[in-house]
Amino acid sequence: MNSTFTEEDYQLIEQNFSGLRDSSRKRCANRTEYETVLKAFEFANDAHKNVRRRSGDPYILHPIAVAKIVVDEIGLGYKSISAALLHDVVEDTDFTVDDIRRNFGDKIASLVDGLTKIKTALDGSKDTTSLQAENFKRILITLNDDVRIVLIKLADRLHNIRTIEFMPEYKRDKILSETMYIFAPLAHRLGLYAIKSEMENIWLKYREPEAYKDIESRLENIDAQRSGEMDEFIASIRAELDDAGYGNSKILKRLKTPYSIWKKMNTKNLPFEEIYDLYAIRIIFHPKENYTEREQCWHIFTKITSLYPYKSDRTRDWTKEPKSNGYEALHLTVMSPGGNWVEVQIRSERMDSIAERGVAAHWLYKKNDASQQDSDFEVDNWLKKVREIIENPDANAIQFLDDFHKELTTADIFVFTPKGETRRLEKGATVLDFAYSIHTDIGNKAIAGKVNQKLVPLSQVLHSGDQVEIISSATSSPKREWLDFLKTSKAKGIVMESLRKNTKDSIGEGFRILDKRLNDRGISERIKVMKRLLAYYKCDTKDQFYAKIGIGVLTLDDLDKALRANAPANESFWSINRLFRPKQGRIDRKKEYVIGEGSDNTFIIADCCSPVPGDSVMGIIDDQGRVVVHKKSCSVANDLASKRGEKVIAVRWSEKSVSIFLTKVLIRGIDRAGLLNDLTKVISEDMSINMRKVVFEAHDGVFEGAVELYVKSTDDIDNLIRRLGNVRGLEMINRVEINQ
């Protein structure tokens, strides 16, 4: 490819930068800030001259696009815009951070330096099991330095996946896995819903392309059919708002995203036809004086519910207790005149700005509103919790990433102290977690609690609205069994540290416990076994593993499962039809491998998602050098690829495969005499498909069940579902994972 830029290239650069120039001019507070952005562009443009991306476009188009996301979609200022333009200069050219500092000052240089370290980490190639986790730990530690580094990195990742079709498949799978495991949840936690949704949709488009196209097509048809009805629905609400003095409100309508529908279909085992609230409308009002924004949200609520019936169990009030990312709104679901459920979101202009721009808008309002200066914003509280995880010196990289992922994705509850103060805890937290959230000494000395004036044990799980009191004793101290029910990372860390201090020989004790368990099973080849156990329990060293056993963090209750994890091909618990065993060879990550056709590597069909020929699949190299084949949408595969991106390879099915694969379908319908016989006749006689397991139940006239069966490809599954759809009384037939 010719690298020297042509006149068309320079025109393309100018065309792209003109949009950023306009956005920056509106965002910058003065001429000096604006000129800094222009200077950053000129610097970066010169540094990347005659350099192209994989697509063939001038490389500078990428920093321009990232900077435009930073200003338009996140709402950051001139320093962040400049850093986004410069973010690849130090890594990809001869310029240094000191060069950036001399030309743009300390803060922009600091942002670029943080982004450079992230890129260096992600592009590392050292082959270790925890490399990817170490890389992400370095990324997330920047939350301790300046959250803008992570915000710019989110913009960088968003543009990279917007252009992901130009990347080789193995790298595409790695990047999409990272995106769904860390970046999309991180965007959600930082309040960047539009970015999070776009990341999820791109993930689905490449991981489940057929499902994505099908849902997108269905949504287009629904929009064509119901658009007029929705316009009338909005018009009636508009008239009601005008009458109530909210004539300057905006009312926006939108359809649910393909990913949100796909996720609900898969997590709840529902067909598309049973996803009801496909439409949502958003009301954004300009608040009146003399009334709080929350009061006005509820005033609008009463106006809407005077027109349409609403579903009371779907009402969500985040105006009193915002989400941990600062999100505030009042949500309700109403029945439209056409008989369709519609979600309605009610927000003030301030709430909408925070919902769309996340932490950038959150801090902007905090900075500009004197009444907010000393308030304890929930997003600030979340960042405090993040820093507790980051600053834990004992967490290995994989444990760190697991803790952080859990912190990103866990829902919250609200409980009260005896004095009525609100405390936010993650869902599933116990009385003891609450005690540690107040103070370490209160947790260490706790012996029981009172929930709503009733005496309860420390293991009692809390629910939103509970009032909690801790009963303590001066002689109490942390106990190993507390680790069995503690939920929060902070509390577990405190207890583990206390147990370490009080246990003189935890490593020796752990060795003795494990040695006895292995002897009981007659296992003598300890070297091979230890490698497998360290990988399964996510420990970096044997001493760390023994110590965790010794203090009781690891109970080894699942030791048999751990011993079978990543088992060699000649061990009896691998089913013969689940394993392809050609000659073993060196794996080239840049090569695409064909499953079951003269390949020189071992392929194992993953039990977690049970892919069959026709499914979109990816390969992940395990510790024995074999390739485990997962569906691209498998959550386990996304987890593994996020932590071990260097182990991802591209695989595809052989067109000549004659193997059989286990799959499962759920069936629901109206019970009648002979229904089961009709089902099994279609499966066994008409389709000649072998069944492994059939489980059905009938309750109050409703027939539900599941069939596990052996198929050759997704064509068999599609044909079966189509044929079963003709059986009288059946309402739902869905393929699901084997373990569901």
**Annotated catalytic sites, by residue?**
91-92
Q: Quick count: other Cβ atoms within 10 Å of Cβ 242?
A: 12
- Contact yes or no for 727/682 (Cβ under 8 A): yes
| CA–CA separation, 465 and 457 (whole Å) | 18
Residue 74: what residue type? Answer: I
φ, ψ of residue 620 in degrees (nearest 5): -130, 125
Burial class (CB in 10 A: 0-12, 13-18, 19+), 297: buried
C-alpha 83: how far from chain center = 26
- Considering only CA atoms, which of 480, 233, 484 is closest in space to residue 340? 233
Q: At what angle do helices 131-145 and 635-643 cross, to 10 degrees?
A: 80
Q: How far apart are CA 737 and CA 607, in angstroms?
A: 9
Burial of 721 (0-12, 13-18, 19+ CB in 10 A): middle
Query: SS in 3 state form for 330-372?
Result: EEEEEECCCCCEEEEEEEEHHHHHHHHHCHHHHHHHHHHCHHH
Tokens of 432: 């003891």
Give the whole-angstrom CA distance, residue 390 versus residue 396.
Answer: 11
Q: Which residue has the tokens 């279909």?
A: 265
Residues 207 and 179: beta-carbon distance below 8 Å: no
Residues 6+ apart with CB under 8 A from 548: 510, 537, 539, 554
Beta strands in 34-176 (DSSP E): none
Q: 305 and 334 in contact (C-beta within 8 Å)? A: yes
What is the number of alpha carbons within 13 Å of residue 115 lying toward its C-beta?
34
